[in-house]
């Protein structure tokens, strides 16, 4: 039997997960993983708009906020292994994963890792703003671009605030982290495995010019269970501009497991 630890550990410094709103009576935990360059703050307000019986845990990856002095990961395999090593104290309840862009890839590989090593799967996997993992990339890798091209691509993605892009000192601080995160995505090598048995819901942006509906729809190949495709208004970062609609749909799916 696994030793059970108190959820208060999730609020300690240098931990992998933050707990915006502790909920000891929760019946399900939702782990949320950020996009490249993102922090746990992306999901800080989510507990207020999700079912009361859901406890939200937000992943804080190395290289940011209180983990600023820790080197960021640049490859998904050791990153997933490190996250998985931090999960056991929080697996005493049913759980689901949500990830956007890079976070979708992390949550998918984490689900497969848990199945291989513990025989566990989330009750549902939510992937957002990411092509199905078995598809070949349709855009060039960003992590090794020269500085001018790298900044240009960041502007096109529309996820980095203009005040950061136009501030040389901030960019000097942010660039190593961003390059490492984009390396996690750019060096990813898909390895075929049987589909997950948990349901998968895949979200895409109707205005996302690089990740089409067709590429999001092919997440259906990664589950032997139910699959739902939801295309929402907005570009690649519809997770921010269309948060209210996204959370309503997420709540509907989570209610089915409660």
CA dist., res. 112 & res. 84, Å (int): 11
Residue in 74, 101, 128, 131 annotated catalytic: 101
Query: 197 an active-site residue?
Result: no
Distance set, CA 202 to CA 85, 208, 213 (Å): 26, 14, 10
Chain position carrying tokens 């990339």: 137
The alpha carbon of residue 223 and the mean position of all alpha carbons in its chain are separated, in whole angstroms, by: 18
Cβ atoms < 10 Å from Cβ of 124: 27
Chain position carrying tokens 């059970």: 4
Catalytic residues: 101
């Amino acid at each position: 039997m696994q030793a059970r630890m108190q959820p208060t550990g999730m609020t300690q410094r240098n931990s992998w997960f933050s707990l915006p709103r502790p909920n000891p009576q929760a019946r399900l935990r939702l782990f949320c993983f950020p996009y490249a360059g993102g922090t746990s703050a992306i999901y800080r307000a989510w507990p207020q708009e999700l079912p009361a019986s859901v406890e939200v845990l937000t992943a804080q990856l190395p290289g940011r906020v209180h983990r600023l002095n820790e080197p960021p990961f640049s490859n998904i395999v050791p990153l997933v292994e490190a996250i998985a090593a931090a999960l056991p104290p929080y697996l005493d309840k049913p759980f689901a994963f949500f990830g956007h862009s890079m976070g979708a890839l992390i949550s998918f590989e984490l689900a497969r890792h848990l199945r291989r090593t513990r025989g566990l799967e989330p009750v549902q996997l939510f992937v957002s703003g990411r092509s199905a993992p078995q598809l070949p990339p349709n855009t060039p890798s960003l992590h090794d671009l020269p500085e001018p091209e790298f900044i240009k691509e960041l502007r096109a993605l529309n996820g980095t605030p203009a005040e950061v892009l136009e501030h040389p000192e901030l960019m000097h601080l942010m660039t190593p982290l961003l390059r490492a995160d984009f390396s996690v995505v750019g060096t990813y090598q898909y390895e075929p495995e049987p589909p997950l048995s948990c349901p998968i819901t895949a979200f895409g942006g109707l205005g996302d010019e690089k990740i089409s509906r067709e590429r999001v729809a092919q997440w259906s190949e990664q589950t032997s269970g139910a699959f739902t495709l939801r295309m929402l208004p907005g570009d690649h970062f519809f997770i921010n501009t269309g948060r209210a609609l996204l959370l309503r749909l997420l709540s509907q799916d989570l209610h089915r497991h409660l």
